[in-house]
Amino acid sequence: MNKKLLLWITVTGILTILAIDDIVEDWSTIDGSFEKIYIFFTQDLFPPDWSILSSEPNIKCNSEIGFFCSQAWKGISETLQMAFIATVLGFVISLPIASLAANNLYPLPIAMAARVFLAGLRSLPSIIWALIFTIAIGFGPFPGVLAMTLYSIGYLGKLQYEAIEGIANEPLEASMAMGLTKSERFLFVVIPESSNNLISQLLFMFEYNVRHGTVLGLVGAGGIGQYIDTNLKFFVYDKAMAFLIVIFVVVVIIDILSMVIRSYVTDESDFKRPKWWTVLLPSDAAMKIHRRNLEE
């Protein structure tokens, strides 16, 4: 092995051990921790209490299907709504700010000011924003939506200006020489050129907001997290576990859906599908049919 690399690995390893030793003041506290975790999992968390999927009398509900009047549905649908609103608002607000932050569109002083603004929004995690808004507004999903929106603006804005800076310079130059205005350049050159990335980022942000929306309930900002928080406070761990499994399933479903949608916004797949049913085909197969139709 390269001597220099070996030295780096050794130094990093020693520093890591020293840092751990500094943080863990009393190693004896770790004794028996694995057994405690094992007992907690097998006796407190499992089996999960699936009553959260049944109709709950305290929930106002007109549906005849019990599941739609359950705590799980109420919680997860609220979280999904919060994530959806925050992602859409975040996207719409962040896009113009990201255009100001892109140094291929605006001069450095303007770009830097916009970047500092976005970094400011991003520097506080959404849970801290949620805490601030619950203090200001009170408990419920609204402060949660505001918190996620602000964080989404900061996070999406950064991803967006990086995507905008990555577009080819020639279309921008051609439109400048033609005399198009900045807003026309942004709408008709920048957005189409970075559209695949923007859609992909939008889907990622929605996924992220759903996952983080579950945490916001811990500070009273609505969503399924609020049910988890209540159950944890009253040591009803089996119900909390059931909620966690619901979140896991929903996140996996969103992940799969988002993966499928993202596969349609790659360079290889953003062509007009020849027939409606070809959306079900992989992009290269649909493209073959498309080319054959063109040749005919």
Partner 1 sequence: MDEVTVWDGLTAGLEPIIQLRSLNIGYGKSLAKDITAEIYTGDRIAIIGPSGVGKTTLLRTIAGLIAPLSGEINNNCSGRGDIGYIPQKLGLVRHSSAKSNVMLGARTRKSRFHLPFLGLGEGLNKEVDQLLQKLGISEISDEPVRILSGGQQRRVAIARALIQKPKLIVADEFLGELDADNIDSIIDILETQLSEINATLVMVEHQENIARSIATRIWRIVDNQIIEERVE
Residues forming the site for partner 1 (CB under 8 A): 168, 170-181, 183-184, 187-189, 192-193, 195-196, 267, 270-272, 287, 294
Question: Are 69 and 55 in contact, with CB atoms under 8 Å apart?
Answer: yes
Q: Among residues 148 and 203, whose Cβ is nearest to partner 1?
A: 203
What is the rounded distance in angstroms from the CA atom of residue 132 to the CA atom of residue 150? 12
Q: Among residues 87 and 194, whose Cβ is nearest to partner 1?
A: 194
In the complex, least distance from residue 51 CB atom to partner 1, rounded to whole angstroms:
50
Q: Among residues 140 and 274, whose Cβ is nearest to partner 1?
A: 274
Omega into 47 within 30° of 0, i.e. cis?
A: yes
In the complex, least distance from residue 192 CB atom to partner 1, rounded to whole angstroms:
5
Q: Among residues 160 and 226, whose Cβ is nearest to partner 1?
A: 160
β-pair partners for 70: 55
In the complex, least distance from residue 201 CB atom to partner 1, rounded to whole angstroms:
15
β-pair partners for 55: 70
Q: Among residues 100 and 287, whose Cβ is nearest to partner 1?
A: 287
The residue among 174, 198, 172, 180 whose CA lies nearest residue 105 is: 172
In the complex, least distance from residue 251 CB atom to partner 1, rounded to whole angstroms:
30
> ∠ CA(184), CA(188), CA(192), 5° rounding?
150
What is the rounded distance in angstroms from the CA atom of residue 294 to the CA atom of residue 296? 5
In the complex, least distance from residue 161 CB atom to partner 1, rounded to whole angstroms:
18
